[in-house]
Amino acid sequence: MIYLDHAATTPVPRAVADAMYAVLTEQFGNPSAQYAMGLHMKNQVSVWRETVARALDCPPGQLHFTSCGTEGDNWAIQAALWQNRHLGRHVVTTAVEHSAVGQACAWMEKQGCEVSYVSPEADGGISAEKILSAVRPDTALVSVMLVNNELGSVYPVSEIARGLQEKNPKTLLHTDAVQGFLKVNCSARALGADFVTVSAHKIGGPKGIGALYISPRVRNPRPLLPGGGQEGGLRSGTEATAQIAGFAKAVELRTENLAQKLAHMAAIKAYAVEQLCAIDDLTIIGSGTAPHILAVSLVGWPSQNIVNDLSEQGICISAGSACHQGKPSHVVAALKLPKRTAGGVIRLSFGPETTQADIDACAAALRRHHDTRLPML
Ligand code: PLP
């Protein structure tokens, strides 16, 4: 199998699975238990929290484990609107957020919030000025992702944070950094956001575990789950110790020689651009600079057919995270591309394990698809 869908999820290295297995079978104590095994687990959870917090460059006390990136996004949006409930109910976000943010905002609209969705340029870029110009005195929250999951566009989160400080310092800033974590500079301190969401399964960790950084500017964060008081009383529920252990192990492995891994992914992406651009009717979509995501269109050939055809040959790529029944995803739609271009958008995404041979096989399959299948009218 050739796996070119690392933005969807990533393989879990053996060492991560082993770390989880040991917790599930031997060190299974509840961190709230008062005997040695529980106390040991409590201590281990703090060590694992420190590992993830170090990678996110934030104090461990401000990092809260969640069940996934989607949960972190939803919590951040609710907590920001709660904290700023006396300021207003206006939210600024983009038209190209992952649905974890997009749908959470849509839900808030149903509850009386007003949401401004800032559109990208045709290349997928969005400037800090464009975001800031949508901010009003009653803007409670700005939510802008760090790296777009379909295009690889990197958005200017730290510039937006600085601009907000000048324009409306009470407005809180959230960034969904699920695709940015350990792929681009993702220091919570440097980003200056009040909430930063990450998820383990995009970096070689297990599914079902993520984390949310909450800055001290959020004085009394709204608890997501009131209950037994875990996660500083903000997100109760017995800690998912095996998932947390797996998350920390994945961070540890990924941060080893990280610069080299990122350079490798960037080189693979450059090689893919070179190989794919030699295919007739294939064009690059957007100007995304994240090292692991490349969006292209085989103009005129429906993306779902391409995905199915390559899948039959054991090659996994994606038609965009929300391509339903031949309709382009909301991200592709926001680019306002010609219909035949939008219809042919596919995403290739890479990991440290991806090789040039993987790209060669994918390019050959795409060329065959182009040469043997009929395009749409
Ligand atoms: N945000 C972005 C940008 C993503 O790419 C994803 C997953 O694809 C999520 C949020 C959701 O993360 P999770 O699958 O951990 O809920």
How far, in Å, from the CA of 8 to the mean position of ligand 1?
Answer: 8
- What three-state secondary structure class fits 307? helix
Q: Is the CB of 70 under 6 A from ligand 1?
A: yes
Structure tokens at 121: 């340029």
Q: How far is it, in rounded angstroms, from Cα 343 to Cα 350?
A: 22
Q: What is the pLDDT, as a whole number, of residue 324?
A: 52
Residues 6 or more apart whose CB falls under 8 angstroms from that of 281 comprise 298, 299, 300, 301, 370, 375
Q: How far is it, in rounded angstroms, from Cα 279 to Cα 363?
A: 8
Q: Is the CB of 178 under 6 A from ligand 1?
A: yes
Q: What is the pLDDT, as a whole number, of residue 159?
A: 98
Atom of ligand 1 nearest to the CA of 210: 15
How far, in Å, from the CA of 279 to the mean position of ligand 1?
Answer: 31
Contact 281, 271 (CB under 8 A): no
Q: What is the pLDDT, as a whole number, of residue 322?
A: 47
Atom of ligand 1 nearest to the CA of 100: 10
Atom of ligand 1 nearest to the CA of 200: 15
Helix, strand, coil proportions of the chain in percent (round to 5)? 40, 15, 40
Measured CA distances, 73 to 63, 174, 195, 356 (Å): 14, 8, 9, 35
Domain 14-255: assigned CATH number: 3.40.640.10
Q: Where are the alpha helices (DSSP H) in 8-68?
A: 14-25, 36-56
Q: How far is it, in rounded angstroms, from Cα 101 to Cα 176?
A: 8
Structure tokens at 98: 């992952």
Q: What is the DSSP letter of 313?
A: T
State yes or no: is 323 an active-site residue.
yes
Atom of ligand 1 nearest to the CA of 201: 15
CA atoms within 13 A on the CB side of 287: 7
Handedness of CA 107, 98, 135, 58 (dihedral sign): positive
Measured CA distances, 264 to 68, 177, 187, 268 (Å): 27, 21, 21, 6
**Which class for 127: exposed (0-12), middle (13-18), buried (19 or more C-beta within 10 A)?**
middle
Contact 269, 291 (CB under 8 A): yes
How far, in Å, from the CA of 70 to the mean position of ligand 1?
Answer: 6
Mutate to test the pocket of ligand 1, among 6, 93, 149, 183 (most ligand atoms within 8 A of CB): 149
Architecture of domain 2-9+257-372: Alpha-Beta Complex (3.90)
H or E segment to which residue 297 belongs: strand 293-298
What's the predicted TM-score (pTM) here? 0.97
Q: What is the pLDDT, as a whole number, of residue 34?
A: 97
The tens place of each residue's pLDDT in the chain, 377 residues long, gives 999 999 999 999 999 999 999 999 999 999 999 999 999 999 999 999 999 999 999 999 999 999 999 999 999 999 999 999 999 999 999 999 999 999 999 999 999 999 999 999 999 999 999 999 999 999 999 999 999 999 999 999 999 999 999 999 999 999 999 999 999 999 999 999 999 999 999 999 999 999 999 999 999 899 999 999 999 999 999 999 999 999 999 999 999 999 999 999 999 999 999 999 999 999 999 989 999 999 999 999 999 999 999 999 999 999 965 445 567 799 999 999 999 999 999 999 999 999 999 999 999 999 999 999 989 86
Q: Is the CB of 205 under 6 A from ligand 1?
A: no
Query: For 27-35, which contacts have Cβ atoms below 8 Å and span 24 or more sequence positions?
Result: 27/241, 28/241, 30/238, 31/230, 31/238, 31/239, 31/241, 32/228, 32/230, 32/238
Q: What is the DSSP letter of 235?
A: B
Q: How far is it, in rounded angstroms, from Cα 12 to Cα 262?
A: 18
Catalytic pick among 58, 113, 186, 323: 323
Q: What is the pLDDT, as a whole number, of residue 323?
A: 46
How far, in Å, from the CA of 373 to the mean position of ligand 1?
Answer: 33
pLDDT tens readout for residues 143-191: 999 999 999 999 999 999 999 999 999 999 999 999 999 999 999 999 9
Q: Is the CB of 362 under 6 A from ligand 1?
A: no
pLDDT tens readout for residues 318-349: 996 544 556 779 999 999 999 999 999 999 99
CA 299 to chain centre: 27
Atom of ligand 1 nearest to the CA of 70: 16
How far, in Å, from the CA of 299 to the mean position of ligand 1?
Answer: 27
How far, in Å, from the CA of 98 to the mean position of ligand 1?
Answer: 7
Structure tokens at 303: 């993306």
The sheet with strand 345-349 has its strands ordered as 282-285, 293-298, 345-349
**Every domain of the chain and the residues it spans:** 2-9+257-372, 14-255
Looking at the DSSP bridge assignments, the partners of residue 105 are none
Q: Is the CB of 206 under 6 A from ligand 1?
A: no
Q: Is the CB of 68 under 6 A from ligand 1?
A: yes
β pairing state of 2-3 and 315-316: parallel
Q: What is the pLDDT, as a whole number, of residue 376?
A: 81
Amino acid identity of 17? A
| DSSP string covering 132-167 | HHT--TTEEEEE--SB-TTT--B--HHHHHHHHHHH
